[in-house]
Every structure is written in structure tokens, then in C-alpha cells.
């Protein structure tokens, strides 16, 4: 019978990669707690209008990449392509905006974009998303970068990435800049792709985000928004750079850095790794001071970022260290087998992991199985050991073994002494 496979761009994640994703998640959660963030869980399926309005109707995501369909009641719904839109909606819908002066939130889960799959680019991928509402001071822009540097250091990536920053200004500087670049692109309109010809009069800044090679070439020599920022955006960006300096965080100012979503104002940033290939950004974000208002809320500034977990996991080379040691119970004969349940009971009570192979035929097959499970220690019990009142403990890494009395309580105590040797 023909097998049904996963959809293109979707994948199963198991084994070591799951351990890496969990490691990223646990480490991130630890620092979110220390920096005062609270978790929010929002729906994966939302009203399509939410994304059109927030991300922007001329962006690639909205124009080409959304998993949108009509549900059984005829409503247009979309699998979330990113988390910010849903979190802003929730911030308003739950009334959080009225209860808290500052809201610091994080969320973890799958996102969906109908992009062309390639290394590090999937149609279902996972993000760790962080959002802060209520602070315009650039100290928070720098604090976000600072917090990620702790997370990335603990994951083992210190100095293995670069941080690119830029300012995309506000509606005031953008209105002036629009005239400048419309003039520039109009003179080169022939060379632009059809999408960009359309964007030229609707949303010319989107041309900078086009993936077409010729549009990229034309955009590469254009005037830059960075050189046309209004006074208050300049002050904000300089403040951001000063805080980064105080925090000793090295960044590269990339004046041509633009983002694929329309809601950004002022600070934007991307974390880039050379070890990722073409899809080299594993973390990205920025400020969105007008989004909350545009979504029907009060005038509250916001800033955030998302870690692309699938990409970050690709950067972890070392196997993730298992925190507690793992034990395996190898038995020979029915009397020894009868010890499995009382042993497991005590191990679980003590928060220790003990595995075994049901229906084991030989000691050899059990040792092979323990090896495959990457057990740290194997406890071996047979009729002989029961007669003598002992249990053999084998250290799988070092290959040595010792005998200790066959008594579960003293065994548990002895085990901790055994690790220290
Ligand atoms: P984004 O740049 O679209 O921003 O995505 C953030 C990160 O998600 C990217 O840098 C990348 O690592 C990962 N990512 C995006 N698309 C894919 C894909 N198809 N496959 C694998 N990984 C992918 C946002 O999503 C914003 N919502 C970030 C943000 C939060 N800005 C403010 N707050």
C-alpha cells in the first residue's frame, strides 16, 4: 500500500533535534523569568484580516505565503505566519493594555508560511517570540539584545553570530523618504519585477525587501532611509547605540537592513550566522510603535523579536547534555525481573530515570539496548547476585563496575556517592 507522507515543507522532528529544541526553550525560559517576562499562548488559527492589517497587504507574507482557507462557516481563516499580530490582538482583547503600564510577554510555538522549502526554511517552523508593550525608551531596545546574548551564550554560541541593526524611521521620516525613492525607482522602473512596479506607488519601501535579483541590484545603490531619519528617530537610534555600548554588545549598523513586515518603526535588528547558508538569520525583530493603535487600541509603543528555533537548533553542534543521569535495569531470571517494579517505583519517587527492556532474552541484548538508549549506568541483577545479596552497577562511559548491597534504599543513597567518584 502506498504510504501517505508529510506535506512539502513540513517535517517530523525527533531524537537529538528535539533535545536541541527543548534546550533552546528551557534556556530561553530561564532568562525570560529573570528579565520579567510572562508566557502567553494564543491561537494558531486566526481571522485572516488580523494578518493583512498588521503585517501589511503588500508584503510577501500576506501576498504569497499565508495558509488561508475558508472554514465550514465560510469565514476566512489563516494559520499564523508569525506571532506578533496575535499577541497584539490578545493584548487588546484581554484588556491587558488597560491593566498594566508595561507588559512583557513571550510565546513559543509553530508558525506557517507557504515559502519555497530549502535548508533552514520550512512551511511549518517554530518561533520563540518576545514582545514588550508600553516602553519607547531605547534602553529596552538594548535590553532585548542583551537578554538574547545571555541565552545564546548559554546555548554555546558566544561570538558565533553577528548582530545587524538599523532604524527604519517613523511615518514622518518615511513620508519624506518615499518621495525621494519614488523618484529614484521611477527612473529605473523598467528593470523592476511586476510586483515591485505595483509596489512602487502603493508601498515603495517594500521594493527593498524584494528577493528578485534585478530589484535587489537596483535597490542596492538607492538613497537610504537611514540618511533621511527625522530628528527624534535619530535621537532614539543614537540612544539605542549608546546603551549597546554600555552593555559592551558589538553590533554592525546595516543601513540597508529592512524587514519583511510592514509594522516596524525605528529600531530593527537581525542576528546572522555564517553557518546557516542562504537563510542566515536565526533571530529578528524590531520596534512597532504604531501597531497597537492600528489594530484598534490606544497609542502604545511596542518592540519584540522572534528566535527561529529550527535555525538556531542547526547551530548547536554538541549533543545536548542530559541533566540527570540515566539508569538501565538489566535482569536475568524471573526473580530479578520481579525487582523491576519496586526499583522503578523508588527511582521515580527519587526523580531518577530507570529504563529496562521487557521480554529480554539475554544480558547481551540488554546491554546493546542500554547503549542505544545512551544509559549512563546499568544495574545488573541475576540469580547469582540475588543469592549473594548484591547488585552490579556498570558505568557505561568508563567501562568499570562495582558491586553494592541489593537493598533499594541504600542503593539510592549509594548511587549519589557513585556519581561523585
Ligand atoms: P521574521 O523575520 O519574519 O520576524 O521571523 C523571525 C525568524 O523566524 C527569522 O529570523 C527566522 O529565523 C525564522 N523564520 C522565519 N521564516 C521561517 C521559515 N520559513 N522557516 C524557518 N524559520 C523561519 C517575525 O516573525 C516577527 N514577528 C518578529 C518580531 C516579533 N518582531 C517584533 N516582534
338-366 mean pLDDT: 92
Q: How far is the CA of 342 from the centre of ligand 1 (A)?
A: 48
124 and 240 in a single domain? The answer is yes
- What CATH number should be reported for the domain holding residue 86? 3.30.930.10
Q: Whose CA is nearest to atom 14 of ligand 1?
A: 308
309 and 346 in a single domain? The answer is no
Domain boundary among 284, 314, 344: 314
pLDDT tens readout for residues 382-407: 999 999 999 999 999 999 999 989 88
- Ligand 1 neighbourhood includes 260 CB (under 6 angstroms): yes
Domain carrying residue 404: 326-416
pLDDT tens readout for residues 83-117: 999 999 999 999 999 999 999 999 999 999 999 99
- Ligand 1 neighbourhood includes 286 CB (under 6 angstroms): yes
234 and 145 in a single domain? The answer is yes
Q: Whose CA is nearest to atom 13 of ligand 1?
A: 308
Q: Give the pLDDT score at 416.
A: 62
Q: What confidence tier does 323 reach under pLDDT thresholds 50, 70, 90?
A: low
388 and 303 in a single domain? The answer is no
Q: Give the pLDDT score at 421.
A: 47
Among the listed residues 157, 179, 206, the one whose alpha carbon sits nearest the alpha carbon of residue 314: 157
35 and 127 in a single domain? The answer is yes
Q: How far is the CA of 308 from the centre of ligand 1 (A)?
A: 6
pLDDT tens readout for residues 198-228: 888 888 888 988 888 999 899 999 999 999 9
Q: Give the pLDDT score at 202.
A: 87
163 and 107 in a single domain? The answer is yes
Domain boundary among 285, 314, 343: 314
- What CATH number should be reported for the domain holding residue 354? 3.40.50.800
295 and 338 in a single domain? The answer is no
Please check the confidence at residue 267 and state whether its pLDDT lies above 90.
yes
- Ligand 1 neighbourhood includes 149 CB (under 6 angstroms): no
- Ligand 1 neighbourhood includes 84 CB (under 6 angstroms): yes
Amino acid at each position: 500500500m502506498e504510504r501517505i507522507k508529510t506535506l512539502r515543507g513540513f517535517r517530523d522532528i525527533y531524537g537529538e533535534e528535539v533535545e536541541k529544541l527543548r534546550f533552546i526553550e528551557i534556556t530561553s525560559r530561564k532568562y525570560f523569568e529573570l528579565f520579567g517576562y510572562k508566557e502567553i499562548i494564543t491561537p494558531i488559527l486566526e481571522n485572516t484580516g488580523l494578518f493583512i492589517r498588521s503585517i501589511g497587504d503588500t508584503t510577501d507574507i500576506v501576498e504569497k505565503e499565508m495558509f488561508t482557507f475558508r472554514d465550514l462557516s465560510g469565514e476566512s481563516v489563516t494559520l499564523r505566519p508569525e506571532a506578533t499580530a496575535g499577541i497584539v490582538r490578545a493584548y487588546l482583547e484581554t484588556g491587558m493594555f488597560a491593566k498594566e503600564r508595561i507588559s512583557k510577554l513571550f510565546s513559543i510555538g509553530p508558525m506557517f508560511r507557504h515559502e519555497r522549502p530549502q535548508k533552514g526554511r520550512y512551511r511549518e517552523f517554530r518561533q520563540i517570540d518576545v514582545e514588550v508593550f508600553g516602553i519607547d525608551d531605547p534602553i529596552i531596545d538594548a535590553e532585548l539584545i542583551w537578554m538574547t546574548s545571555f541565552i545564546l551564550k548559554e546555548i554555546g554560541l558566544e561570538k558565533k553570530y553577528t548582530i545587524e541593526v538599523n532604524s527604519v524611521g517613523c511615518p514622518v521620516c518615511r513620508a519624506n523618504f518615499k518621495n525621494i525613492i519614488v523618484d529614484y525607482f521611477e527612473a529605473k522602473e523598467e528593470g523592476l519585477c511586476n510586483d515591485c512596479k505595483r509596489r512602487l506607488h502603493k508601498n515603495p519601501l517594500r521594493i527593498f525587501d524584494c528577493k528578485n535579483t534585478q530589484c535587489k541590484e537596483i535597490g542596492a545603490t538607492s538613497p537610504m532611509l537611514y540618511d533621511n531619519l527625522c530628528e527624534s528617530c535619530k535621537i532614539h537610534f543614537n540612544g539605542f547605540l549608546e546603551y549597546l555600548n554600555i552593555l559592551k554588545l558589538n553590533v554592525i549598523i546595516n543601513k540597508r537592513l529592512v524587514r519583511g513586515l510592514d509594522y516596524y518603526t525605528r529600531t530593527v535588528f537581525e542576528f546572522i550566522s555564517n553557518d546557516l547558508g542562504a537563510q542566515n538569520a536565526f533571530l529578528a525583530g524590531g520596534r512597532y510603535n504604531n501597531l497597537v493603535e492600528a489594530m484598534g487600541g490606544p497609542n502604545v509603543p511596542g518592540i519584540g523579536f522572534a528566535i527561529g528555533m529550527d535555525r538556531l537548533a542547526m547551530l548547536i553542534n554538541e549533543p545536548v547534555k542530559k541533566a540527570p543521569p540515566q539508569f538501565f535495569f538489566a535482569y536475568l531470571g524471573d526473580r530479578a525481573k520481579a525487582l523491576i517494579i519496586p526499583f522503578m517505583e523508588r527511582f521515580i519517587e527519587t526523580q531518577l530515570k530507570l529504563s529496562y527492556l521487557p521480554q529480554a532474552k539475554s544480558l547481551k541484548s540488554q546491554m546493546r539496548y542500554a547503549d542505544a538508549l545512551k544509559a549512563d549506568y546499568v544495574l545488573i541483577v541475576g540469580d547469582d547476585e540475588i543469592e549473594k545479596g548484591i547488585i552490579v552497577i556498570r558505568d557505561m562511559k568508563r567501562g568499570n563496575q562495582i558491586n553494592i548491597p541489593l537493598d533499594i534504599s541504600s542503593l539510592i543513597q549509594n548511587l549519589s556517592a557513585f556519581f561523585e567518584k
